[in-house]
Amino acid sequence: MAFNALSLPISGTHVAFAAGALLALALLSSRYRARRHLSYPPGPRPLPLLGNILDIPRSQFALTWTELGRRYGPLTWLTVPGQTFLVLNSFEAAKELLERRGSIYLDRPRWVMLKELIGLSNYLVLSPANDFWRKQRSHLKHALSGAAVKSDYSSLLETKARQYLERCVARPENVLLETNRIIGEVIIKLTYGKLEDAQGRDYIQIITRLLDIMILSLQGYVVDLFPTLQYLPKWLPGMKFKRDAARWEKEIRELEDTVLTLVKANSLSDDPEVQSSYTFKKMQEIHSKDRDEHGVQEQTKLNYLYTGGLETVNHSTETTMQSFIYAMILCPSVQKKAQDEIDRVIGSTRSPTFEDQPDLPFLHAVMLETLRWNPAVSFGVPHVSRKDDVYEGYFIPKGTTVIPNAWGFSRNSKYYTNPSIFDPERHLKESPELDPREFVFGFGRRLCPGKELAFQEVWILAASILWAFEIVSWRLCASALRAELILDVVSHPTPFECQFVPRRERLKDKLEVATN
Ligand code: HEM
């Protein structure tokens, strides 16, 4: 039986529904038409089937992103089948998209190798913007706020800085290793309260290995560009990524189990150091909310996994300190000026404390310049968009991976005069140049929650080194050294040797007095 539309009973609801549907259709079609007239941002021409795969670097990523910016302008568009990428070489565009429109650019890439094959999807920095991520971030926001860092962690940071100086006096040939070690100790102390478990296993070694695996797996595996490759059998040629993933997954599970055991043991500890740690406090919260043993187990695991996100960012602080030491070797006049300021304000009888901070403006500028000169996360951590967007007339579809090229901002003469020169004075001008903390710690809702802690930590370590030592190069004179930076996932200076020469007579005695 044929129905005549007019013979159907029509109610007000139907009319409203039909009008709504028509309106939605009209909107959709006008949006579609508008989109058809909108273009993607400029970028290199994609190849059939492969897209821009040949334009995507395998190393020194930030250099390629910066070069693309020079050729195509502040926004560069790249595609590989099924994925779209937007490289930002404009600080203003990064601010607008990732911060002001932060609710759109909130997710993280799929990172097939790291998250799906190795199973690290629950680490805070890698996590999609889900409920757990939100809860953990809100907890961290308080635990690592500027006020909390000042009141809760200043004394730990000062004590660690003095211990560091003592170790450098005792083992001057090992200062770079000691630098990495002390930074690891700060984060582990703060997270777990202890550096090793009852069996004497060193947590810094465990975490360092975890970080190394993470960074290795982010170094441009082809499966990240073509996720379907993961379903092919591992005996086929080109499937090395599958074997790597299987090996690392096993290793990571073992490392995690060790730390998880510590987290559980810690939750029962009556040691005050443990009780002041981040995980102890979180575990108390979990126990107070969930009395069911299975729930507690699950929460403990999640707590560990998310806390794991804290240590996974440790390399950034290490490389920032390495960049500082490297810059001081390359620029002896800057080093001397900072030391003169320290000598004037602090003198020779005691080592620096945070109370000296307001009186050391040149040192503050040196630390800002260190962050700018070699942004530790040189091309930022990518954000992924949750819905379609339009910016400056360009269409940015949902699911686009947006890369804020921090290195590009740091080398852009629009923001900095002579950007490749290490020059702290740029931050002391009447109108200071762009504060690098505006971009080296990322943007918007994914902004680094550890930025206050990181800045205070590198500040106290740098102040202590300059107070106690002259930093010189082991073999070469400064003029023979060139600034060479490796811009990988976490960027760092090329391996170099250096020596800390004591500037104070009886330095060891002075440090002992300070420590006691
Ligand atoms: C100089 C040292 C550091 C630098 C340069 C740095 C930089 C960054 C950057 C660029 C991001 C990505 C932000 C974004 O996606 O927009 C990030 C994320 C993060 N950082 Fe840091 N960071 C440093 C130290 C720290 C420290 C000491 C901690 C913790 C104690 C920390 C904890 C985190 C966490 C948990 C995230 C993930 C945030 C999220 O995805 O929601 N960072 N960091």
Same domain membership, residue 290 and residue 215? yes
For residues 271 and 427, which has the higher predicted lDDT (pLDDT)?
A: 427
pLDDT for 202 equals 79
Token readout for 460 is: 């106290």
pLDDT for 312 equals 53
Q: Which of 107, 111, 137, 313 to mutate to test the pocket of ligand 1 (most atoms within 8 A of CB)?
A: 313
Q: Give the Cα separation of 190 and 456 in Å (integer).
A: 14
Q: Which of 320, 322, 448 to mutate to test the pocket of ligand 1 (most atoms within 8 A of CB)?
A: 448
Please report the atom of ligand 1 found closest to the CA of residue 453. 27
- Residue 501 in any domain: the answer is yes
Which of the listed residues 290, 313, 336 is the one where a domain comes to its end?
A: 313
pLDDT, tens digit (0-9, with 9 covering 90-100), for 121-138: 778 888 899 988 898 888
Q: By C-alpha distance, which of 155, 167, 164 is closest to 182?
A: 164
- Residue 146 in any domain: the answer is yes
Same domain membership, residue 344 and residue 450? yes
- Residue 113 in any domain: the answer is no
What confidence category does residue 30 fall into, taking pLDDT thresholds of 50, 70 and 90?
Answer: very low
pLDDT for 479 equals 58
- Residue 221 in any domain: the answer is yes
Helix (H) or strand (E) holding 390: strand 389-391
**Complex-level ipTM:** 0.99
With a cut of 90, say whether residue 15 has pLDDT above it. no
Same domain membership, residue 333 and residue 305? no
- Residue 182 in any domain: the answer is yes
What confidence category does residue 10 fall into, taking pLDDT thresholds of 50, 70 and 90?
Answer: very low
Residue having the nearest C-alpha atom to atom 29 of ligand 1: 450
Q: 151 and 276 in contact (C-beta within 8 Å)?
A: no
pLDDT for 485 equals 82
Residue 316 CB–ligand 1 contact under 6 Å: yes
Q: Give the Cα separation of 262 and 285 in Å (integer).
A: 17
Q: Give the Cα separation of 78 and 40 in Å (integer).
A: 9
pLDDT for 313 equals 61
What confidence category does residue 252 fall into, taking pLDDT thresholds of 50, 70 and 90?
Answer: confident
Same domain membership, residue 300 and residue 173? yes
With a cut of 60, say whether residue 186 has pLDDT above it. yes
Same domain membership, residue 214 and residue 180? yes
Which of 148-152, 234-238, 463-467: highest mean pLDDT?
Answer: 463-467
Q: Give the Cα separation of 416 and 369 in Å (integer).
A: 11
Same domain membership, residue 503 and residue 358? yes
pLDDT, tens digit (0-9, with 9 covering 90-100), for 340-361: 999 999 999 999 999 999 999 9
Mean pLDDT over residues 304-310, rounded?
53
Residue 382 CB–ligand 1 contact under 6 Å: no
pLDDT for 487 equals 77
With a cut of 80, say whether residue 290 has pLDDT above it. no
Same domain membership, residue 202 and residue 309? yes
Strand partners, 406: none
Full domain range(s) for residue 307: 137-313
Q: List C-alpha distances in Å: 446 to 53, 99, 206.
A: 27, 9, 26
pLDDT for 259 equals 76
pLDDT for 300 equals 57
With a cut of 70, say whether residue 394 has pLDDT above it. yes
Same domain membership, residue 373 and residue 299? no
With a cut of 90, say whether residue 208 has pLDDT above it. no
- Residue 9 in any domain: the answer is no
Q: 399 and 381 in contact (C-beta within 8 Å)?
A: no
Domains contained in the chain, number: 2
Residue 339 CB–ligand 1 contact under 6 Å: no
Residue having the nearest C-alpha atom to atom 14 of ligand 1: 442
With a cut of 50, say whether residue 4 has pLDDT above it. no
Q: Which residue has the tokens 């240590």?
A: 311
Same domain membership, residue 292 and residue 144? yes
- Residue 174 in any domain: the answer is yes
Interval between CA 206 and ligand 1 midpoint (Å):
20
pLDDT, tens digit (0-9, with 9 covering 90-100), for 458-478: 999 999 999 999 999 866 665
Mean pLDDT over residues 439-446, rounded?
96
pLDDT for 8 equals 33
Please report the atom of ligand 1 found closest to the CA of residue 446. 41
With a cut of 50, say whether residue 185 has pLDDT above it. yes
Which of 2-16, 36-50, 320-334: highest mean pLDDT?
Answer: 320-334
For residues 471 and 485, which has the higher predicted lDDT (pLDDT)?
A: 471
Q: Which of 160, 182, 441 to mutate to test the pocket of ligand 1 (most atoms within 8 A of CB)?
A: 441
Residue having the nearest C-alpha atom to atom 40 of ligand 1: 125
Mean pLDDT (the chain, rounded): 84
Residue 137 CB–ligand 1 contact under 6 Å: yes
pLDDT, tens digit (0-9, with 9 covering 90-100), for 57-97: 878 889 999 999 999 999 999 999 889 999 999 999 999 99
pLDDT for 87 equals 98
Same domain membership, residue 230 and residue 364? no
With a cut of 50, say whether residue 454 has pLDDT above it. yes
With a cut of 80, say whether residue 118 has pLDDT above it. yes
pLDDT for 257 equals 80
With a cut of 60, say whether residue 3 has pLDDT above it. no
Which of the listed residues 289, 313, 337 is the one where a domain comes to its end?
A: 313
Is residue 448 part of an annotated ligand binding site? yes
Q: Which residue has the tokens 């699911």?
A: 399
Which of the listed residues 272, 287, 313 is the one where a domain comes to its end?
A: 313
Q: Between 361-373 and 314-330, two packed helices, what is the crossing angle to 10 degrees?
A: 110
- Residue 424 in any domain: the answer is no
Same domain membership, residue 292 and residue 332? no
Same domain membership, residue 358 and residue 466? yes
